[in-house]
Structure 1
Amino acid sequence: MIPEAVVFDIGNVLLEWQPERFYDREIGEARRRRLFAEVDLAGMNDGVDLGAPFAASVETLAETHPDWAPEIRMWRDRWFEIAHPPIDGSIRLLRALKARGVPVLALTNFGRETFDAAVERLPFLAEFDRAWVSGRMGVMKPDPAIFAALEAESGIAPERLIFTDDRADNIAAAAARGWQTHLFEGWQGWAARLVAAGMLDRTEAGL
């Protein structure tokens, strides 16, 4: 069945998200490993993705771990260096689908404030027909409720959606609802999947 709409994750699909790489560069791998072992940066970020205030969440964590406070505050002060660079091949696919008139949706675990700031800095994030953002919704992937919300609000049947994400648990959650899926491991593989699904030809997909 040819899909009716294409659903993109954002982090590591359209925009690289590799905090470890950033911290390795800034403080060295050994010190980064200590930081990540002693401070629950990932848990703090999950809270932001569920709607907690970004700056306040970072500051609370910094105050809780004063020995690591400068490094923790980098998460806030240098966020755009962590969420970088854009994945140009995926952006071209988004625009090729739009040029064909295919509805292009986003389903992303992303904070409210950070998403709004990212849209201002990265205009391609405003090109979706609609974005479902976990921080606005108070629920995040792979919770089935966020997939159900997209289905209900878009009015598109699950089997008519094709979705890419870089996390296997999110892909499994979508597949369990009947979505067509693709585990993102690079834009070329996603391009080939869209060609196979009849959404683009090889030239449009950049292959």
Structure 2
Amino acid sequence: MTTDIRHIVFDIGKVLIHYDPHLPFSRLIPDETERNWFFANVCTHDWNIEQDRGRTWAEAEALLIEQHPAREEQIRAFRKYWHEMVPHAYDDSVAIMEGLIAEGRDVTMLTNFASDTFREAQARFPFLNRPRGVTVSGDVGLIKPDVAIYETHTKSFGLDPAATIFIDDAPVNVEGAKAYGWNAVLFSGPEKLRSDLAAYGLKV
């Protein structure tokens, strides 16, 4: 499976940096059953993804506090302790990305990320500033796997879809990229990524 790949697009969370909202909440809500209930019913994935789409944290918090007033402190803790949810980078993945950049490859990033927390991540993880650029969902008001965000990224960076490969940890986002016309691979670890890239003629 070799093809003329000229553009490599990386997702960020769970590909280049670790993300786990349970990390601070294991301290804030020690009981696992209660904590799982909190994430299933209060600070849910669907609630959080709207911040990735551009909703402000103030609006997001107010919405939940109105519904769950007794949980106000825990609701506000989600943003307050966000930095604890992203404790470290995946060094081997970063090395692959930096290796591609060092070879002169065209590397960009496409991420579902709130605007403010992404800037915080950039300050903490300097390698996020090394690719040619990034499309942040919170900046453009679109989220993966909406086809419009792949189109926006393509147009912003002048990509040829057929010559683009996308790396993401979520199957739905990989399928969304393929539906738009990109090549795409599911990230499950650095060694598998090296193998997948090699299959497209990219050896790092």
Aligned to 1:114: 117
Is residue 104–residue 128 contact of structure 1 (8 Å, CA) maintained in 2?
yes
Runs of 4+ aligned structure 1 residues displaced above 4 Å come to: none
Q: Which residue of 2 aligns with 1:192?
A: 195
Q: Please tell me whether the aligned partners of residues 53 and 113 of structure 1 are also in contact (alpha carbons under 8 angstroms).
A: no
Output the TM-score relative to the length of structure 2: 0.91
> What TM-score, normalized by structure 1, do the two folds share?
0.89
Structure 1 window deviating more from structure 2 (33-42 vs 134-143): it is 33-42
Deviation larger for 48-57 or 80-89: 48-57
Classify the secondary structure of the residue corresponding to 2:76: helix
Distance 1:83 1:21 in 2: 9
Q: Which runs of 5+ in 1 are unaligned?
A: none
Q: Deviations over 1:90-139 (max 9, x none)?
A: 11111101100001110101111111121112111111201011100011
Which segment drifts farther, 57-66 or 163-172? Answer: 57-66
In the alignment, the residues of structure 2 paired with residue 94 and residue 179 of structure 1 have an alpha-carbon distance, to the nearest angstrom, of 18
Counterpart of 1:151 (choices 145, 149, 154) is: 154
In structure 2, distance between residues paired with 1:54 and 1:129 = 28
Question: Which residue of structure 1 lines up, in the alignment, with residue 57 of structure 2?
Answer: 54
What is the identity percentage for the equivalent residue pairs of Structure 1 and Structure 2? 35
Equivalent in the alignment of 1:132: 135
Shift in alpha-carbon separation, 1:188–1:26, aligned structure 2, 3 A:
farther
Q: May I ask how many residue pairs the two structures share in their alignment?
A: 201
Moved more, 47-56 or 86-95: 47-56
Spell out, residue by residue over 1:130-173, the C-alpha distance to the aligned partner (whole angstroms, 9 max, x if none): 10111000111000001111222222211100111111111111
Deviations 1:15-51 (A, max 9, x none): 1122135434542311211212331432331111111
The corresponding residue for 2:172 is 169
For residue 60 of structure 1, report the CA deviation from its aligned partner: 4.3
> What secondary structure is seen at the aligned counterpart in 1 of 2:127?
helix
**Counterparts of residues 80-91 of structure 1 (less than 5 Å):** 80-91=83-94
| Distance verdict in 2 for CA 1:147–1:187, change over 3 Å | same
Q: Does residue 46 of structure 2 align to residue 35 of structure 1?
A: no
Deviates more, 1:98-107 or 1:191-200: 191-200
Q: Deviations over 1:64-113 (max 9, x none)?
A: 42222222222111101112321111111111011000011101011111
| Whole-angstrom CA distance in 1 between matches of 2:112 and 2:100 | 22
3-state SS of paired residue (2:167): strand
Q: Is the 8 A contact 2:43 2:75 kept in 1?
A: no
Question: What RMSD, in angstroms, separates the aligned Cα atoms of the two structures?
Answer: 1.7
Relative distance call for 1:110 and 1:47 in structure 2 (3 A) is same
Is 1:78 matched with 2:81? Answer: yes
State the partner residue of 2:68. 65
In 2, distance between residues paired with 1:181 and 1:165? Answer: 8
**Residue 12 of structure 2: aligned partner:** 10
User: Partners of 2:35 and 2:47 in 1: how far apart?
Assistant: 16
Kindly provide the CA deviation profile for residues 164-201 of structure 1, in whole angstroms up to 9, marking residues without a partner as x.
Answer: 1111111111111221111011122112212222222x
Task: Please tell me whether the aligned partners of residues 28 and 74 of structure 2 are also in contact (alpha carbons under 8 angstroms).
Answer: no
